[in-house]
Structure 1
Amino acid sequence: MKLQDLPSSSPTAVFDGHAALHAGFRWQVPAFFNLAEVCCRRWARSQPQAVAIRTEGLDGRLSLLRYCELQARANRLSNALRRLGVKRGDRVAVALPQRAETAVAHIAVAQLGAVSMPLSQLFGPEALAYRLQDGEVGVVLGDDSTLPALREARAECPALRTLIAVQAEALGEGEQALDLLLARESAEFTPVRTRADDGALLIYTSGTTGPPKGALIPHRALIGNLSGFVCSQNWLVDPASRVKLGPSGVPADAVFWSPADWAWTGGLMDALLPSLYFGVPIVAFAGRFSPERAFELMQRHRVTNSFLFPTALKAMMKAVPAPRERYKLKLRALMSAGEAVGDTVFHWCQQALGVTVNEMFGQTEVNYIVGNCSQGLGWPPRPGSMGRAYPGHRVAVIDDAGNECPRGTPGDVALHRLDVHGQPDPIVFLGYWRREAATQAKFTQANGQGWCRTGDSAVMDADGYLWYQGRSDDVFKAAGYRIGPSEVENCLVKHPAVANAAVVPKPDAERGALVKAYVVLALGFDGSAALVEALQQHVRGRLAPYEYPKEIEFIQALPMTTTGKVQRRVLRLQEEARAEQARLPGRDTAA
């Protein structure tokens, strides 16, 4: 299948502009669809020797996994899982980092008709036990990075029958070695015929607000992701049009890499699976992220396309201000998501990396719905903007009652269940796992319109560009003024002393709340009263007077979710707890 054979309209329409692109776009969702077929099996038939995954070990060694090998190993694992009692619809947890076995596992589970549950290697025993219990998981795959925590969590998970260990030295009761398991199975497997609406993935929300919930993602969601993927990656074409095209219609030299965890929607649905869908080799590296290593990986693997979240880009900008003076980069397209990039990082990407970063917005439940496309496709990025609705997605800013807000008025970003042609949007999730009330609360019916709320606040301008304000519960009022934290944070990061920042309300008896900033300092800077004053003046001179932080606290690291998002809720609750403590009898409230 080539790029022009997407289950949608031809990309030739994009040059008529954003509105024309939406008008001419049609989703093509077959009744029966399985992500394992389009991400692996078809390539194993048509180009078996093509490289699917390039794995770089911590020792620097490189190994290649070709589509024929990926399919054979997935077939063996499907047979093994069936023998272990996994049936259609059962949940199989994949607690693995970026490595070939992660892709093998997801392909194997999908073609078995079961549901994959990706789990991050960063999760501790308590986080793992919560998800394994909630998802009623019977089988889980782990490696040396997750096995200790899985073993500890297992005591709280009576339904968990089998732990499949990847390259483990010693096995315990109820554990099986993956290599030995696969060696006993056939490399032939007849895939289960799944409907496009069948569940494929159970991905738990990052927990920025409240306990994580399992979002059940159907096979069709991969189709819904494709318009956003190709737009965020500038249609995956070579701007100079000098590179030979491969079998999928993309440049033969295309290579994708992202540090995004493959257990997160951003790593799995925005990097691994769409790369496999287009037959683009993806680099797997399970080591810790560092700015220098990121540049080294991009240079060594001649990476052309990437997804780098804002926290990574900020770290890279501070550590290596002029990367092209040190590294030979082949980067052609760059997408970012998770937080607002901000104009400082935006301009650095243009000047230092030589690419215009395409911001994207989405979430686990409705991924890849808003973003930018920087190469002549009708809506050039605007610094600081989330972008506009991707083809096939009807997006609006709505109020509490579910009515569309006037342009320029803040509200909740929402996705309509139907596209502009009245057809179901394939990207919409099936619902929260066994949480009917939460699922119903996610959707709003108003004036006959069915909206799926994202919980993120934004403003839509006259041209349809969205400007992020923060999580709906992150936006707060101080002295009667509405404060969107991302604008203040972006302004702080422009100062050379600031590596990262988070802005939250601090309870105040007179004003209701004060603007408080938690600041992570860049290397070479020390926190001081003079620096606090300098940062306050820096913001005061660039934003509205009421937006500058009345208080600044220096901190070693911001609390983050496993998906790279700042957990402002943690800091907000900390401020509320401090305020409550200060009100206790016997406390010197003036201190």
Structure 2
Amino acid sequence: MHGGFGWSVPHQFNMAEVCSRRWASNSATADQTAVIACDAELKAVHHSYASLQEQANRLSNALKAMGVGRGDRVAIVMPQRFETAVAYMAVLQMGAVGMPLSQLFGPDALEFRLQDSEARVALCDGSTLAAVLSVSGQCPNLRTAVGLGLGAVASSAAALDWATLLNQASNRFKPAQTLADEPAVLIYTSGTTGNPKGALIPHRALIGNLTGFVCSQNWFGFDPFDASAPSEAIFWSPADWAWTGGLMDALLPTLYFGRPIVAFNGRFSPQTAFDLMERHKVTHTFLFPTALKAMMKAVPQPKRQYRLNLQAIMSAGEAVGDAVFAYCEKQLGVTVNEMFGQTEINYIVGNCVRLYPARPGSMGKGYPGHRVAVIDDEGQECAVGVPGDVAVHRLDRHGDPDPIFFLGYWKNEAATHGKYTGDPANSWCRTGDMATRDAEGYLWYQGRSDDVFKAAGYRIGPSEIENCLVKHPAVANAAVVPKPDPERGAVVKAYVVLAQEYLDAQKIRDAEGLLALKERLAKALQTHVKGQLAPYEYPKEIEFVDSLPMTTTGKVQRRVLRLQEEARARARQ
């Protein structure tokens, strides 16, 4: 598969051109649905590719009139909705740089990113405008904000009304002829290990994403083995379009292939996810392991309640684990394709059940076009079974440049240089994620390099223990970290969130009853892990919590828990 694959990256390339304009300019596809905008009550409005492009043209003209030019950063602070897709197409076709910001960011997070990026304009909706305006005074480069639903009367120098601006702008726009290597998107890393860094993504990176997207989505409705097969595909994912998982793994590749994507502007819940997928006949999806765990606990037998059309499920962010893997196969009728990537080099490793067996808990293999290896501290490839850093080579197996790579960290050459091992033109890019490789080439996740720890001389990867804990019916989610210990250096500690369904079934009457239940359950969970894993891996201590610290991309912030344990240890001294 790798030997017969080669990249075709044109000198000039623009994400918006291939995701919107080419479909809108073709009479055969212009009226096809691009975005199914769905509100919290699941009421939906279908928007065509022609409408998407027309609105993007108007917004591009409005931004140009504000002084936004090629290379300028435009913040997009909006949830999943049609106008968010319009914003990306408008900014990208101008040659400007879209900077997605999550609607969940607080003032400090917004201020840091707006300041650091030197963003010129912020595009907002009613849920985010106030937060942006509250920090705009500390962001001297931010000229104005554009808000949805303000009304012409409410427009001011600080915030302009979206509808008024677009109504006054022309619906024709001449797009910039961008180079494939020009910057398109500035995405800040989730910041689980320190201050977030802005990763500058070029237009060509979308091409680098496509092999992973097609493989993980089981061809996304296309069938290369049967050209006459139906090509139905409707995509939905709860992944925020402000993150790589929502933007590069969902929105942009779906539009690239001219298919509809569901934009759900509401809170995620297992029941809502099933209702939405049934109502809109969703065929392809990307669901985080945390979402799948919640769905498994809340709706253990979905086929009894829902009629689903699912053809493919991709999952990433954490290890899925064999309990969730089995649930997807038996209860959803789909073998989940786990994928691995990161903001800087996305969609590089994963499973594809159409091409090779998906192994429960495995990250998969390198997708076509990416030369992936597990390397040691010196940059040498590790032997089978030896843990090391997952890395991607700048060149594919034919010696041609891999288009997946980011351009570098925004205003941080030192961090960019530190990401690579070897000569800049012929080097490995380290992910910072640890894995082992088996004899068949599958990678097995061991955790972030700063998540893996030693306890009593043993090297501990938290994901395997967490997966084991989640198999217990009482556990909704779990995180494993080291607890400092004066004799053994560290011991294994688990933070556990109990499943609400389990608690309801216990009919606990008071606080004493809950305390007694947790004491019994802690011993039961320790026994459970002892029976499944190595003796040294069971958690010596279990702390029950209402929730785990999570990033906005759905990853458990083990670092937060680890620092908490270190602070507690210092307080005990």
* Length-normalised TM-score, structure 1: 0.92
Asked if the contact 2:13–2:204 (Cα under 8 Å) also holds between the matched residues in 1, the reply is yes
CA offset at residue 252 of structure 1?
Answer: 4.4
Change (3 A) 1:89 1:448: closer
Aligned mates of 2:437, 2:155 — CA distance in 1: 55
Which of 478, 491, 497 is the matching residue for 2:474?
497
Q: How does 1:542-553 map to 2 (within 5 A)?
A: 542-553=532-543
Aligned mates of 2:150, 2:172 — CA distance in 1: 26
Q: Identify the residue that residue 293 of structure 1 maps to in structure 2.
A: 272
CA offset at residue 448 of structure 1?
Answer: 8.9
Q: Identify the residue that residue 421 of structure 1 maps to in structure 2.
A: 398
SS in structure 2 at match of 1:517: strand
Q: Identify the residue that residue 53 of structure 1 maps to in structure 2.
A: 35
Q: Identify the residue that residue 49 of structure 2 maps to in structure 1.
A: 67
SS in structure 1 at match of 2:389: strand
SS in structure 2 at match of 1:564: coil
Aligned mates of 2:145, 2:419 — CA distance in 1: 34
Residue 36 of structure 2 aligns to which amino acid in structure 1? R
Which of 217, 220, 239 is the matching residue for 1:233?
217
CA offset at residue 465 of structure 1?
Answer: 0.2
Change (3 A) 1:240 1:521: farther
Deviations 1:318-377 (A, max 9, x none): 0000001100000001100000000110011000000000000000000000000112x1
1:325 equivalenced with 2:304 (yes/no): yes
Residue 170 of structure 2 aligns to which amino acid in structure 1? S
Residue 532 of structure 1 aligns to which amino acid in structure 2? A
Residue 553 of structure 1 aligns to which amino acid in structure 2? E
CA offset at residue 409 of structure 1?
Answer: 0.2
Q: Identify the residue that residue 486 of structure 2 maps to in structure 1.
A: 509
Asked if the contact 2:221–2:232 (Cα under 8 Å) also holds between the matched residues in 1, the reply is no
Residue 83 of structure 2 aligns to which amino acid in structure 1? E
1:147 equivalenced with 2:129 (yes/no): yes
CA offset at residue 58 of structure 1?
Answer: 2.0
The share of aligned pairs that are identical, in percent, is 67
SS in structure 1 at match of 2:169: coil
Aligned mates of 1:266, 1:212 — CA distance in 2: 17
CA offset at residue 437 of structure 1?
Answer: 0.2
Q: Identify the residue that residue 436 of structure 2 maps to in structure 1.
A: 459
C-alpha RMSD of the superposition: 1.6
Aligned mates of 1:305, 1:204 — CA distance in 2: 27
CA offset at residue 132 of structure 1?
Answer: 0.3
Aligned mates of 1:341, 1:302 — CA distance in 2: 24
Q: Identify the residue that residue 569 of structure 2 maps to in structure 1.
A: 579
Moved more, 229-238 or 325-334: 229-238
Q: How does 1:71-90 map to 2 (within 5 A)?
A: 71-90=53-72
Asked if the contact 1:402–1:446 (Cα under 8 Å) also holds between the matched residues in 2, the reply is no
Asked if the contact 1:360–1:372 (Cα under 8 Å) also holds between the matched residues in 2, the reply is yes
1:538 equivalenced with 2:520 (yes/no): no
Q: How does 1:216-295 map to 2 (within 5 A)?
A: 216-237=200-221, 251-295=230-274
* Length-normalised TM-score, structure 2: 0.95
CA offset at residue 104 of structure 1?
Answer: 0.5
1:101 equivalenced with 2:83 (yes/no): yes
Residue 412 of structure 1 aligns to which amino acid in structure 2? D
Asked if the contact 2:394–2:425 (Cα under 8 Å) also holds between the matched residues in 1, the reply is no
Asked if the contact 2:133–2:158 (Cα under 8 Å) also holds between the matched residues in 1, the reply is no
Q: Identify the residue that residue 129 of structure 1 maps to in structure 2.
A: 111
Change (3 A) 1:29 1:293: same
CA offset at residue 155 of structure 1?
Answer: 2.1
Asked if the contact 2:35–2:263 (Cα under 8 Å) also holds between the matched residues in 1, the reply is yes
Change (3 A) 1:530 1:418: same
1:164 equivalenced with 2:154 (yes/no): no
Aligned mates of 1:546, 1:418 — CA distance in 2: 41
Q: How does 1:341-420 map to 2 (within 5 A)?
A: 341-375=320-354, 377=355, 379-420=356-397
Aligned mates of 1:559, 1:350 — CA distance in 2: 29
Asked if the contact 2:234–2:282 (Cα under 8 Å) also holds between the matched residues in 1, the reply is yes
Asked if the contact 1:308–1:334 (Cα under 8 Å) also holds between the matched residues in 2, the reply is yes
Change (3 A) 1:100 1:211: same
Asked if the contact 2:35–2:82 (Cα under 8 Å) also holds between the matched residues in 1, the reply is yes
Deviations 1:133-160 (A, max 9, x none): 0000110001111112111121221111
Aligned mates of 2:411, 2:473 — CA distance in 1: 48
Residue 161 of structure 1 aligns to which amino acid in structure 2? R
- Paired residues, what number? 556
CA offset at residue 447 of structure 1?
Answer: 12
Asked if the contact 2:286–2:313 (Cα under 8 Å) also holds between the matched residues in 1, the reply is yes
Q: Identify the residue that residue 18 of structure 1 maps to in structure 2.
A: none
1:520 equivalenced with 2:497 (yes/no): yes
Aligned mates of 1:424, 1:43 — CA distance in 2: 29
Aligned mates of 2:416, 2:126 — CA distance in 1: 36
Deviations 1:468-515 (A, max 9, x none): 010010000000000000000000000000000000000000000010
SS in structure 2 at match of 1:206: coil
Q: How does 1:160-199 map to 2 (within 5 A)?
A: 160-168=142-150, 170-199=154-183
Aligned mates of 1:162, 1:235 — CA distance in 2: 42
Q: Identify the residue that residue 8 of structure 1 maps to in structure 2.
A: none
Residue 229 of structure 1 aligns to which amino acid in structure 2? F
Aligned mates of 2:73, 2:232 — CA distance in 1: 36
Aligned mates of 2:223, 2:231 — CA distance in 1: 14
Change (3 A) 1:372 1:315: same
Moved more, 170-179 or 534-543: 170-179
Change (3 A) 1:156 1:345: same
Q: Identify the residue that residue 484 of structure 1 maps to in structure 2.
A: 461
SS in structure 2 at match of 1:24: coil
Q: Identify the residue that residue 339 of structure 1 maps to in structure 2.
A: 318
Which of 410, 413, 428 is the matching residue for 1:433?
410
For structure 2, the 5+ residue unaligned runs are 504-513
SS in structure 1 at match of 2:363: coil
Aligned mates of 2:124, 2:543 — CA distance in 1: 39
Aligned mates of 1:240, 1:197 — CA distance in 2: 30
Asked if the contact 2:349–2:367 (Cα under 8 Å) also holds between the matched residues in 1, the reply is yes
Which of 192, 203, 208 is the matching residue for 1:208?
192
Q: Identify the residue that residue 92 of structure 2 maps to in structure 1.
A: 110
SS in structure 2 at match of 1:552: strand
SS in structure 1 at match of 2:468: helix
Aligned mates of 1:240, 1:103 — CA distance in 2: 29
